[in-house]
Every structure is written in structure tokens, then in C-alpha cells.
Amino acid sequence: MLHADVTIEPSQVRMLVETHYPFRVTRLEKVRAAYRVETDQGVYAFKNARKMKDLGFIASVVEHVKKRGFTRLPAPIATKDDQWLVAYRNHPYYLEEWLEHVEEVSPKRHDWLRPAARALAQYHACFKRYRHSRCPSRRQERDIWPKYLMAQWRWLSGVQSAWATPVDGMEHLSFLKYRLQLAWQSWKRAEEWRRSGNGPISVLCHGSLHHENILMDGEKQVWLIDYERMAWDDRVRDLAQLMQYHFPRHGWPEQEMSRFLDGYHKEYPLRISEYAALCSRMAAPPKFFRLARKVTAERGTSLLRRWDDTVRTEKRKDPYLTYLYHRG
């Protein structure tokens, strides 16, 4: 079951919409984790708000972004009482604009990458004069990355002595050590630039840029949806995350990765420091280290095979990491 699935019955959805919004429901359809709600005043999405307790803040961010010219994202809808959340049986829900005539981008293709790069750059550029103090403390995450790296280093130091032979995977632990060192050195290089005033630019990152949250319309324009993981952080976080979602299955093709970054750079130029910061993020991706922790804890045969495959795929990224490191 999806973590944010709407599990209540259609009749309950209809009741909630007609009670709390100035709409009359004409048709309901369950689409994945949400309901598509047709009304006499438009089409909306009825969603679970379990991860959206500060929806009022998110609504203000969406309004801010749209006023600054990036309109390709759905806005939450206020209730008749100017509230954002609707409670039912101790669960929060909300209504959002439904996007018509858009489709998820394909993880098997690259044709959407340049439009996505431009869209992401346009979205990020909306925060050039945004005061990060407006963000709730729980969405302030710019200082988390070095803490994450240090936590992985402490964990790795603790498990190395327990893995005594290459058969057990010691050579992979050495690879983890190399990647953590590269990530730390790259982060420090970016921080040196930050101290001089030319460090990575921080924005309200989308925070969840996988294929299901990137949509394309008939005019090849990219839309961004689902902002529950929005956080104030260096913008390279979004770039690294999108690249980590998409490129491993394609063997880390350097030409396509460069095209993606160039598409972004032409819209909202990257600083030299941001190539080093991006190298840091991509050298030590959290998903990779979560798997490493699981392997060292369980050591099952199928898990070790998966670990071997993952390490082989990660190693194909190394030439591009070297390029990013030296460019920064």
C-alpha cells in the first residue's frame, strides 16, 4: 500500500468535498493514491495529507513560485473556511488542482531530461530573493549533509574490523571508504567557496524528484508535483537526486548527464563551487549507504548479489565524479 494512500470510500470523499468546499461533486475516480474529483467548478485531486501538516506554508510557497513566473505546479485549494486541511477519523486530507493532459516521464527514455532541467532551473530561480527564515525549522536542512557524511564514516569505521576477508566483502567496504573520502573532500572544497561568498546557492528544494513526480504535457513542458519533502538546502540536492533516480539504470551515460546539467546551467548558471557540491552528493548517495548498512547487518546471499550489482553500477559513475571534482 502507498504510504499516503487515500483509503476511505468514495461516498466519504464526496461528503468531505461537498461539506468543506464550495463544489458539487459530479464524478469520482480512484487514481493510484488519490481520488480524481470532478465537480461543477473544475477537476481536483483529493489526497492524504499525512506528510503535509504544514500545508499552509506549502500553499504560500506555491503562490510565491507562481507569482514569479513558474506556473507548472498544482496549487492546494482552500476550504470554505480558508483552511487547508480537512480532518476525518483522525486523518488529514486536502484538495489540490488536478493536472489534465500530462503524463509521467519515462524512466526508460532521455527525451524529457533537458525540459526537466530547464523547468527545475526555472523553479529554483524563483527563490533568488526568498528569505529562508520563512521556512519551518523542520524544513531547514542545509546543515544535514556534512552530519550525514560523518555518521556514515562512524558507521563504516565500526564495521570494517568485523569484515575480515574479501569473500565477506572487504573490497566493497574499501570502495565505500573511497567514496566517503571523495564526498567529504568535495564538500569541504564547496565550503571554501561558500566562505568567500561564492558557495552553492540554497533554495527550497523539491526534495522528491523521481519519475512519478515529473510530468510532461503535449507541448513538451515539464510540470513538478508532490511537495511533501520540500526543504531548504543547496540546489544541487535536487540535481543529484534526479540524476540518482534516473541514470543508474542506464549505466551512468556521461553524454546524457552532461546534457542534463548543461540544460540547467543555460537557464540558471551553476557556480564552480556547485560542481564540487554535486560531486559530494553523488559520491555518497543515501540509498547506496542504506543498502550497505543492510548488507553488513544481514549478509544474505541474495542481498550480497544485489550489493555486488549495485557496486558495479556505482563504479561506472566514477569517471563523471572525477570530472565534477576537478571542475569544482
Residue 180 to residue 283: CA distance in whole angstroms: 7
* Number of C-beta neighbours around residue 72 at 10 A: 19
Q: Provide the CATH topology of domain 10-100.
A: Phosphorylase Kinase; domain 1 (3.30.200)
In whole angstroms, how far apart are CA 70 and each of 7, 118, 122, 273, 282?
32, 11, 7, 26, 27
Predicted confidence (pLDDT) at residue 2 exceeds the cutoff of 60: no
Cα 10 to the chain's mean position, in Å? Answer: 30
Report pTM.
0.93
Superfamily designation of domain 113-327: Aminoglycoside phosphotransferase (APH), C-terminal lobe (3.90.1200.10)
Predicted confidence (pLDDT) at residue 140 exceeds the cutoff of 90: yes
pLDDT in tens, 29-64: 999 899 999 999 999 999 999 888 899 999 999 999
pLDDT of 167: 46
Domains 10-100 and 113-327 share a fold: no
Q: What length does the chain have? A: 328
Computed on alpha carbons and rounded to an integer, the radius of gyration of the chain in Å comes to: 22
pLDDT of 328: 78
C-alpha cell at 99: 493536472
**Consecutive H or E run containing 61:** helix 55-67
Domain ranges of the chain: 10-100, 113-327
User: Please, what is the average pLDDT of the chain?
Assistant: 93
